[in-house]
Amino acid sequence: MEQRALLPDDPITTERDQPPVAFIPTPSAAYRQHRKAAQLLDQPGSPRGAGEPASEVPLPYAFGARVLMWKQDPSVLDMGTRKAFLPGIVLAGPRDARIASGDPGISPVEPNAFGDFVTMPDTPQFDAVHTFAVVRQTLTMYQRSLSSSGAEMPLPWQWNSSIDTAPLQIFPYGLPNVMNAFYSRTQNCLKFGDFVPSGQSERVFTCRSFDIVAHETGHAVLDGLKPHWLLADAPPQTGGLHESFGDLTAIFLALSQLDQCEAVVAQTKARLHDKTFLADIAEQFGLALGSTTGLRNADNDLTLSQAGTQVHAISQVFTGGVYDILADLFALERNPALEDDAAVLHRVASWLRGLVLRALIAA
Ligand SMILES: [Zn+2]
């Protein structure tokens, strides 16, 4: 055999206490194989010899796709875009078992050679990927909350049953020239509007807003858990709670991402009651309406008697209460001598998110 010819004096078969027989090892594959075999006898338990290639035991293959997405929205300039990893199988569209991009105005986005969805901002493909990614991150976030609390319950869409596993459809361009976005139970979908604000020339796409997409997904998640809360004859405070859950979803989703926690800490010097993009919901949409604190400001002290009767106005009361709890918890828990502020904020927000979700389920 060729291997034999290369290694005429095999140390495995020679006596141990004899000095090694002189031969010049050549760094061939056969020699390395031989040395490995010899080492197993000399040093049992050694994972690998110095200079040997890494273990041949394959690491478990991680399914998932990288996506490029807006961190907040195109108007929050210091946040910009980020690459994010979505664990799980993501197919062309993008779509997966629960969420499907199905906008007739956008040709399906194909993954690249690495299975990733990295496209240019300000293109329909980017909008489809960004919208899908935010919906997916939101659903994953709440699934984690339930799993970590020990409640092994699924988070179905409202229409799901043993015979209907239809996904939530996403239409990033679903409402042309409409200054709004909505969740529709009867159409199994989220639709996002785009419009040119009066006096401006640049079109605003609501699907590009992290906050708005998270808010609408919040409606879909809550509707799956509490179908009666969306009925037309529900009192306005119930509708207000639905809207608040949407805004809190945007805040919790931002705080489930460590880079956003770091940005909040840096922006506010760790004081959550300072002005921050975190409390400003839908910044770009708010700017289009002439507001510099977003469409709504979560850091408010409104009371029910001040808020009026419109569901979005009422929602601010509950959102403001939960935001105050978040700020208090963070102030109480932070200890820069022991732990990084961003890590504390990430942890505290995760705990509060689970509390809110479980409380709503129990309600
Ligand atoms: Zn809403």
Q: What is the mean pLDDT of each run of 10 residues along the chain (363 residues)?
A: 42 48 63 71 55 62 81 70 89 94 90 90 93 96 86 84 94 94 95 91 91 96 94 87 95 94 92 88 80 82 87 91 96 96 97 95 90
Distances (CA, A) of 242 to 179, 187, 234, 239: 20, 19, 11, 5
CA of 17 to the centre of ligand 1 (A): 80
CA of 34 to the centre of ligand 1 (A): 67
b (16+ CB within 10 A) / e for 56-83: eeeeeeeeebbbbbbbbbbbbeebeeee
Ligand 1 centroid to 275 CA: how many Å?
23
pLDDT of residue 2: 40
Q: List phi, psi (to 5°) of 54.
A: -60, 160
CA of 336 to the centre of ligand 1 (A): 37
Q: Decide: helix, strand or coil at residue 162.
A: coil
Q: How far is the CA of 231 from the centre of ligand 1 (A)?
A: 14
In this structure, how many other beta carbons lie within 10 angstroms of the beta carbon of residue 279? 25
Q: Where are the domains of the chain?
A: 64-362
Cα(27) to centroid(ligand 1), Å: 67
- Residue 194 token pair: 């785009």
**Beta strands 64-70 and 81-87, pairing class:** antiparallel
DSSP string, 90-155: -BTBTB-SSEEE--TTSPPBPP-TTS-B---TTSHHHHHHHHHHHHHHHHHHHHHHHHHTT-----
Ligand 1 mean position to 353 CA, how many Å?
A: 18
CA of 192 to the centre of ligand 1 (A): 12
Ligand 1 centroid – CA 243 distance (Å): 5
CB 29 within 8 A of CB 80: no
47 C-alpha to center of ligand 1: Å?
A: 56
Strand-pairing partners, residue 297, are 280
Measured in Å, residue 1 CA sits from the centre of ligand 1 at 75
pLDDT at 50: 57
CA-based nearest residue to 116, from 138, 151, 90: 90
Give me 214's structure tokens. 């998270």
Ligand 1 geometric centre to CA of 244 (Å): 8
- The H-assigned helical ranges of the chain are 2-6, 29-42, 124-148, 210-225, 236-255, 258-268, 283-288, 304-307, 311-333, 341-362
Assigned CATH class of 64-362: mainly alpha
Cα(282) to centroid(ligand 1), Å: 12
Q: Are 358 and 149 in contact (CB under 8 A)?
A: yes
Residue 111: how many other CB atoms lie within 10 Å: 18
